[in-house]
Amino acid sequence: MPPVQETKLEDAATAAGCELRHDILGRVQDPPVAGPRTTAPTRPGVYTKIPQQTALIGALRRGIIVIHYRPSLPREQIEQLERLHEALPEGTIVTPNPKMPYEAAATAWQRLLGCRRFREESMDAMRLFRGRYIGLGPDK
């Protein structure tokens, strides 16, 4: 992967046209960023079928970053997201998500980076988001 062009997450998110949010417990949203401990967490990996939402929440609770993409995203862009997983395989999940309002999103415990359009600049924001929030969950 090429070096990041922008080094501040907030600036990278803005340059990519993505939204960066900190959400509180109790708000239902897709992709999820919080929830109760209910099932075994999804293991880190690249998925072609959507894991159970409660299991993804379990992964977030353990500090794993979940990268979501719309299945209609071009294969080249999906492969870019998969390379994020390859760079940190024990700390990330990559999964399709056809229902969310973004082409790509990264989630951490109570945090969301949502990109309605996935552009080249979105990768910097995704990488910085992962670096900042990996390992930060209440069940780590």
Domain boundaries, the chain: 9-133
Mean pLDDT computed over 112-129: 94
Q: 105-115 pLDDT, tens per residue?
A: 999 999 999 99
- In sequence order, what are the beta bridge partners of 106? 67, 113
Are 104 and 67 a contacting pair, CB within 8 Å?
A: yes
Among 23-32, 47-56, 59-68, 116-125, which stretch is predicted with the lowest mean pLDDT? 23-32
CA distances from 139 to 48, 63, 101, 102, 135 (A): 26, 8, 28, 27, 10
pLDDT band at 4 (very low <50, low <70, confident <90, very high): low
Mean per-residue pLDDT of the chain:
91
Query: What CATH number belongs to 9-133?
Result: 3.40.30
Report the pLDDT value the prediction gives residue 80, as an integer from 0 to 100.
94
Report the pLDDT value the prediction gives residue 2, as an integer from 0 to 100.
58
